[in-house]
Amino acid sequence: MPVVNPSQYRAMLQRAKDGRFAYPAFNVTSTETVNAVLLGLKQADSDGIVQISTGGAEFFSGLGVRNMAKGAIAMAEYVHLMAREYDVNVALHTDHCAPKYLGGFVLPLIVEAERRAEAGLGNLFNAHMFDGSELPLEENIGMSSELLKRCAAVDLILEMEIGVVGGEEDGHDTSGVGKEKLYTTPQDMVAVHQALSPIGTYMLAATFGNVHGVYKPGNVQLKPTILRDGQEAIAKAWGGASAMLVFHGGSGSSLEEIHETLDYGVIKMNIDTDTQYAFTRPIADHMFKNYDGVLKIDGEVGNKKAYDPRPYLKKAEQNMADRVTRACQDLRSAGTSAGRGL
C-alpha cells in the first residue's frame, strides 16, 4: 500500500483509539531497517509507523552531506516507494526534534510540505514531533501551538511532549533530571488540550516515569495511572474529550504496563532500542563465527562469502522484522490491518 494520506491516517488513529490498541512506531536509519519494519508489519498483518529521528536522518544523508532535512526527505521517498509493495498501511513520522534542531529538521520539512501543497503534491510525512519538554510548560505550549498552525495548514499532525522522558536516545540525554520531572500532571494535560485542540490534530507524549534505553527493574517506577487521571481531567474540562497519547521510552516495560496504557488512550508507542539490538545481534553472531573469513589475517585473502555484507544484512533484516512482529503482538495491533479498506 502507498503511505497513507492525511484522512487515511486519521482513520487509522481512530481505529486504534476505538479498539484500544496502539501502532508501533519504529525508528529507522537505513534502507535495511526500513525493509525490516515493512516486512515485520506484513508478517504481523498490522498497520504501523516508520519514524525518523534527527540522528537517523543525518546518518541516512551520508558523511559527505550530513544534513538532517535532506536525509529525512530521502528516506521518506524510499519508504513511499517500497511501502507500495506491502499490503499494510504505513505512516511516516519524525521523532524527538528538540528546539535547537527545529531550524535544521522539522521547519525545513514543513517548508517542503508547503512547497508540495502549492505544487499539488501529497505530503511526504503524516506527522512531525516537537520535543519542547526541556522548556517551561508555557513556552513549550506556545511553540507547539505555532508549529501546529503551520502543520494543520498542510494537513500534518503535530506530536508534542510534556514532562521529561528519562535516559538517553540518539543524543537526547535527560539522565540528569530529577525523578519528579518524569511525571506529567493532569493540569498539564488539560492545558495542552485547551491550547492545541482548537488549532488542529495533535498527539501528546505525556510522561509517567518512562525512560529511553534499557534499565534494570526498579530504576524508574512507571505510573500509567497518570495517563488515566489526565484523560479524566480533559474529559471533565472538555465535555468528554480525550487526547491521543504516545508512549515514549517503552523498551523493557512489562506487557502488563503496556496494556494498561492502551486502556488509557495510548495509540502510538515508539520502539528503537529493542529493534537496534535485534538488527545488530545476527551481525555480531556472523562476525564471531566467521572471524577468519571476514578478516584478511596473516596475509591471507579471507573468504569473500563471509565478508560480503548481503548475507549478514539479510539475517539482520529478518531478525529485526521478527522483533517488529512481536511489538505488534504486544500492542494488540497484529491482525488489525485495514489493508485497502481505509
With a CB cutoff of 8 Å and minimum separation 6, the contacts of 107 are none
Phi, psi of 183, deg, nearest 5: -130, 120
How far apart CA 220 and CA 207 sit, in angstroms, is 12
With a CB cutoff of 8 Å and minimum separation 6, the contacts of 147 are 106, 110, 128, 130, 158
Domain extent for 188: 6-341
Q: Which of 47, 95, 131, 155 is catalytic?
A: 95
Weakest mean pLDDT among 153-167, 256-270, 280-294: 153-167
Element (H, E) at 236: helix 225-237
On the question of pLDDT at 252 being above 70, the answer is: no
- Judge whether 95 counts as a catalytic residue: yes
pLDDT at residue 299, rounded to an integer: 84
What mean pLDDT is predicted for residues 219-230? Answer: 85
Between vectors from CA 87 to CA 40 and to CA 157, what angle results, nearest 5°?
80
Per-residue pLDDT tens digits for 40-68: 999 999 999 999 999 999 999 999 999 99
Say if 29 falls within a structural domain. yes
For the purposes of burial, counting CB atoms within 10 Å of the CB of 289, is it exposed (0-12), middle (13-18) or buried (19 or more)?
exposed
pLDDT at residue 295, rounded to an integer: 93
Phi, psi of 318, deg, nearest 5: -65, -40
What mean pLDDT is predicted for residues 313-335? Answer: 98
- Mean pLDDT over the full length of the chain: 92
Say if 64 falls within a structural domain. yes
The count of structural domains within the chain is: 1
**Position 298, amino acid:** D
Reported confidence tier of residue 249, pLDDT bands at 50, 70, 90: confident
Say if 274 falls within a structural domain. yes
Percent of the chain at pLDDT exceeding 90? 84
Please give the residue that has the higher pLDDT: either 62 or 213: 62
Reduced to 3 states (helix: H, G, I; strand: E, B; else coil), residue 123 is coil
Say if 166 falls within a structural domain. yes
pLDDT at residue 47, rounded to an integer: 98
CA 69 to chain centre: 17
pLDDT at residue 213, rounded to an integer: 54
Helical H runs in 45-67? 54-61
Helical H runs in 106-224? 106-118, 137-153, 186-196
pLDDT at residue 86, rounded to an integer: 97
Count of CB atoms within 10 A of residue 277's CB? Answer: 15
How far apart CA 6 and CA 117 sit, in angstroms, is 13
**Position 304, amino acid:** K
Per-residue pLDDT tens digits for 146-203: 999 999 999 999 999 998 654 454 544 444 444 556 789 999 999 999 999 999 999 9
Say if 53 falls within a structural domain. yes
Please give the residue that has the higher pLDDT: either 341 or 236: 236
Reduced to 3 states (helix: H, G, I; strand: E, B; else coil), residue 181 is helix
Per-residue pLDDT tens digits for 105-139: 999 999 999 999 999 999 999 999 999 999 999 99
Beta strands at 48-53 and 23-27: parallel, antiparallel or unpaired: parallel
Of 215, 208, 185, the residue nearest 269 (C-alpha): 208
Beta strands at 157-162 and 172-173: parallel, antiparallel or unpaired: unpaired
Say if 1 falls within a structural domain. no
CATH code assigned at 138:
3.20.20.70
What mean pLDDT is predicted for residues 67-92? Answer: 98
**C-alpha cell belonging to residue 154:** 498542510
What mean pLDDT is predicted for residues 232-248? Answer: 96
Per-residue pLDDT tens digits for 11-37: 999 999 999 999 999 999 999 999 999
pLDDT at residue 177, rounded to an integer: 47
How far apart CA 28 and CA 105 sit, in angstroms, is 16
On the question of pLDDT at 292 being above 80, the answer is: yes
CB 335 within 8 A of CB 46: yes
Say if 104 falls within a structural domain. yes
Phi, psi of 50, deg, nearest 5: -95, 130
Of 57, 44, 59, the residue nearest 96 (C-alpha): 57
